[in-house]
Structure 1
Amino acid sequence: MSRRATVLSIVILAIVGFAAAAYFYQATLEKPVPQATPQTASNLVRFHSPTFGPADAPVTLVEFFDPSCESCRAFYPIVKDMMAKNPGSIRLVLRYVLLHAGSEQAVRLLEASRKQGVFPQVLEAVLAAQPAWHDDPQVVKAWEAAEAAGLDVKQAREDIKSGKIDAVLAQDAADAKAVGVSGTPTFFVNGKPLPEFGAQPLYDLIKSEIAQAK
């Protein structure tokens, strides 16, 4: 089954679970604790990345993610549901990949929201509004959704010019290339790539890693 067909098959579940997912999605900004092998850990987990879940979780889930990606939006509630069903066992690390016309603007918006301490709610709002801004290089509707979620847009417009964000984008792009990311979302579970793309393979690999940690 193709990646597109797989995503279409889960999109209904994604829509149903989207609103409830935020309840379980608690962000932290601590330095991630790599679970991957030494050869790949440095390319998968960086101190600057948004992270969700406890630092000492037995499973580190790295997602190479594009906020403009429809598949990433579809997987949003699925990943949150997996975290909710395995409390304390999964730490999610987000890495950015820019594949669409508005991707960089959207990522800069998200990084500005981190500075204001409103990243989780802005991320959810931006993803929920994605169909309205997906093909817009200026992501106007994403900005509107972020503002409604609590972002100070005037300050964020200044913060997106930060050299720190430039460095984040450059490092994530280099790491995505180094580990062979060719599309989004791409997942690594404790440094291991999925055997095939899909929600079930992701769930199975996570459960296997949790079981091994017990």
Structure 2
Amino acid sequence: MKPAVKTAIITIAIAVVLIVGALIFVLVNQNSKEPPAATDGSPSAPVVRESSHVLDDAGEGAVTVVEFLDFECEACGAFYPVVEDLREKYDGEITYVIRYFPLPGHLNSRNAALAAEAAAQQGRLDDMYRELFETQAEWGEAQESRADVFRGFAEQLGLDMPAYDKAVADPATTARIDVDFNDGQALGVNSTPTFYVDGEKLQLERFDDLENAINAAMEGR
């Protein structure tokens, strides 16, 4: 084979390899690319929606606290009494909102959220919210479904059980939970509890960080 022909073949082979490599690179990056961030500095999802569950409503102009929570999360359980103390201390002064963020690693977190949402449809969210956290040690970290336990809580609360069962089985109830979860992901929530005070995400280091943030928001008004 003449040197010129051999050189041409090698050059073409190298070009083909480079082109194929470039195509693979582009395809891989297209598939793994995250959704584009907002360019105007605004969040990619609302911290609070009109449909979000409000446990305490202090009216227009009040400081708004939002908690993305997982009922099976031990850290959420540890913060629960802190939150309840703050809800009592600032009753009438803060609006408290909860949003579901069931972590995939917790087997019963979504079952618990379904129970809470089914109770919410009967106006009893706060009662189920308290029941789930106050009994977390009894069912948390179980390696099998505890849906029957949550149904028992609904019976204890005196809920309409046919309506409860229908709500738990309804795909719309799951979709309602997913709205919160998807908003949390879009906002960058990756652990629970995650708190927002007047739309600002908190970086928690101590239990009193939440109260300090509430006080700072009040003083800033």
TM (norm. structure 1) is 0.75
Report the residue type matching 2:191 in the other structure.
Answer: G
1:107 corresponds in structure 2 to 113
Report the residue type matching 1:67 in the other structure.
Answer: F
2:123 corresponds in structure 1 to 117
Partner deviation per Cα, 1:122-152 (whole Å, 9 max, x = no partner): 2211221211211242333232223212223
User: Separation in 2 of the partners of 1:142 and 1:161?
Assistant: 14
User: Separation in 2 of the partners of 1:143 and 1:132?
Assistant: 14
From 172, 177, 182, the counterpart of 1:169: 177
Partner deviation per Cα, 1:9-68 (whole Å, 9 max, x = no partner): xxxxxxxxxxxxxxxxxxxxxxxxxxxxx9239521012221022232521111001111
Stretch deviating more after TM superposition (159-168 or 186-195): 159-168
2:168 corresponds in structure 1 to 160
Q: Which runs of 4+ in 1 moved over 4 A?
A: none
Contact 1:65–1:185 under 8 Å retained in 2: yes
2:55 corresponds in structure 1 to 52
1:32 corresponds in structure 2 to none
Contact 2:45–2:187 under 8 Å retained in 1: no
1:68 corresponds in structure 2 to 72
User: Separation in 2 of the partners of 1:192 and 1:50?
Assistant: 18
Contact 2:44–2:186 under 8 Å retained in 1: no
1:184 CA displacement: 0.6
Identity of aligned residues (%): 31
How many residue pairs align between the two structures? Answer: 177
1:144 corresponds in structure 2 to 152
2:82 corresponds in structure 1 to 78
User: Separation in 1 of the partners of 2:46 and 2:145?
Assistant: 28
2:24 corresponds in structure 1 to none
TM (norm. structure 2) is 0.72
